[in-house]
Structure 1
Amino acid sequence: MPVPATEADLHAYVDGQLPQARRVEIEAFLSGHPDERQRVENWRSQRRALQRALQPIWEESIPLRLAIPPAARGQPWRRLAAGVAIAAIGASAGWFARGAASARPAVLVTSSAPSSLPIAPAGDTFYQRAAIAHLVYAPDARRPVEIGADQEQALATWLSKRLGAAVKPPKLGMVGYELVGGRLLPGGAGPVAQFMYAAAAGQRLTLYVTREAAGKKTAFQFTRDGPVNVFYWVDEHFGYALSGAADRAELLRVSEEVYKQLE
């Protein structure tokens, strides 16, 4: 009997990375599972949308503020952008199968006010990955998150275990956003967490939490990556990026509330 279709199989099918024999099996599986076929078609639509959104980046020269580190010189900017996009779309399932990191608690922010922190160093790119992840998952109507808000404690426990430090979604009801849920994503050098929130009108924001930028304290920084606005900052233990289509003032308002709660 054929091996049952897994999430990784479906992603590989969309990316055209399956051997022909396995592709035939997946197509047979999809023909009998219309819900899964719809998911696959949604992923294809997201991939096409992401390719269109990243086309200007593909064609432009590298910005001076994103100077390539010495180890990466000689690699065109468009390869970096394409690699990040592919990772955001298709590689998240790989982290679900990896061994769990040893958990240990951590203080998520300092007691200092955001304005007292030094300016962010040039070259940080976790906020770019946050913007791409928002672009991929926020429009998804059927499965925007891996674990829903109805299992919030299980979500926090799972993500804390995978990141190796205590992490939990802030409560944003007082600023007009309710938790939708969250998921684990692949970062540049390890797993990262994404929490998703929605306003009553349907507008979604995502909070990206990574340990890759730890140790480089920064003030709030604002950037725009294609159609996505991002506020990001770093404390001793985590980098945070709040992404959405909301304007700068709205993202700052929500970012300040997130900062106050992550203690």
Structure 2
Amino acid sequence: MSGRDFTERDIHMALDGELPGEDRAGYEAWLAANPDMQARRTRYAGDAEALRSAFAGVLDEPVPARLTRAALGEKPVVVERRRPRWWLAAAAALLLAVGGAGGYVAASLGGGSHDDSAQDQLAEEAIAAHVVYAAEKRHAVEVPASDLDHMETWLSNRIGMKLVAPNLSDDGFQLVGGRLLPAGGHRAAMLLYEDAEGNRISLFVTTEPAAHGKGIYAQSGEGPRAVYWLDKGYGCAVVGSLPDNRLSEVAKRAYEQLIAGMIS
């Protein structure tokens, strides 16, 4: 039996099948001696199963023809109609989001070619996740900022790209932590930040090999907005309820650091 100390990190490793076999007995004994950690493991496992069940149909869908064509080097076909919104309501309901998530409009920042379907999907998924988790006080993230190295490594491995959490302290925001989320047929990393007044913003990052574009995606009336980019094989959205100019400034600095982290 392993004599080492266990932490919440080991819960994630066990659920992901990454806990070394020689640590399993010690881990189970640790859970038995710590009912709060046992309850947390049960909740995390239940959340993961609920998400897998809810998105099973999406994950089993065939690869879209536009992505197949892009992989073969063919020029993407631009479809004029916008992506249906039904899935956003389903995702929000699954994650216990509050109502009022409809009525989005996109405003281009200019530049780049556009794939409205990919842009809408990225922005809507990022906003839906922010609505759900930014309001949480105790369980907003799966891995806290205090375990930064593990969080970056874990999320990088899960989403299939190098992720370095931007430092937004110059903008008054401190990293709270991160979590893993489903994103269409991919996985996404969500990083949550908070300022001294309790305002929260989130970064939603996923792979998006075929799409390019950037813009602001705003909810009609009150609600969070997303500043997004799709480029260099990934998609990033910064979501919050800050004024548009401040949100755009923070998003630009986050974007620059994400790119620098990818190539470092």
TM-score, normalised to structure 2, is 0.60
In 2, Cα distance between equivalents of 1:117 and 1:195: 26
Task: Say which of 89, 106, 110 aligns to 1:82.
Answer: 89
Displacement of 1:245 in angstroms is 1.3
Find out whether 1:219 has 2:255 as its counterpart: no
By how many angstroms is 1:12 displaced?
Answer: 9.6
Query: What is residue 93 of structure 1 aligned with on the other side?
Result: none
Q: Is the 8 A contact 2:115 2:212 kept in 1?
A: no
CA distance in 2 between partners of 1:8 and 1:144 (Å): 12
RMSD (Å) for aligned C-alpha atoms: 3.2
Deviation string, structure 1 residues 196-240 (Cα, Å, up to 9, x no partner): 0001111000000011x2232213434326611111111122100
Distance in 2 between residues matched to 1:11 and 1:167, nearest whole Å = 24
Stretches of structure 2 lacking an aligned partner (at least 5 in a row): 1-37, 54-79, 98-108
> Quick check: 1:205–1:242 contact (8 Å CA) kept in 2?
yes
Report what 1:66 is aligned to.
82
Deviation at 1:84, TM superposition (A): 2.2
Which residue of 149, 167, 182 maps to 1:171? 167
Partner deviation per Cα, 1:69-101 (whole Å, 9 max, x = no partner) = xxxxxxxx44x23322245459xxxxxxxxxxx
Q: Which residue of 2 aligns with 1:191?
A: 187
* Residues 12/150 of structure 1: CA separation in 2 closer, same or farther (3 Å cut): closer
1:139 partner amino acid: A
- Correspondence for 2:133: 137
Contact in 1 for aligned 2:88/2:125 (Cα 8 Å): no
Change (3 A) 1:10 1:260: closer
In structure 2, the residue corresponding to 1:123 is in which secondary structure? helix
**Structure 1 counterpart of 2:252, one-letter code:** E
Query: Contact (CA 8 Å) 1:130, 1:241: kept in 2 or not?
Result: yes
Deviation at 1:10, TM superposition (A): 5.1
Which deviates the most, 183-192 or 216-225? Answer: 216-225
Instruction: Select the structure that is richer in strand.
Output: 2
Per-residue deviation at 1:143? 1.4
SS in structure 1 of the partner of residue 141 of structure 2? coil
State the match for 2:227 in structure 1.
231
CA contact (8 A) 1:88 1:185 kept: no
- Choose the corresponding residue for 1:122, options 112, 116, 120: 116
Q: What residue number does 2:255 align with?
A: 259
Conservation of the 8 A alpha-carbon contact between 1:182 and 1:194 = yes
- The 5 Å alignment of 1:231-250 reads 231-250=227-246
User: Percent identity between the aligned chains?
Assistant: 30
Name the stretch that deviates more: 158-167 or 200-209: 158-167
The CA distance in 2 between the partners of 1:138 and 1:66, in whole Å, is 27
> 1:145 offset after TM fit, Å?
0.6
- Relative distance call for 1:67 and 1:238 in structure 2 (3 A) is closer
CA distance in structure 2 between the partners assigned to 1:216 and 1:10 by the alignment: 33
- Residue 11 of structure 1, CA deviation: 4.7
CA contact (8 A) 2:180 2:189 kept: yes
CA distance in 1, matches of 2:172, 2:257: 15
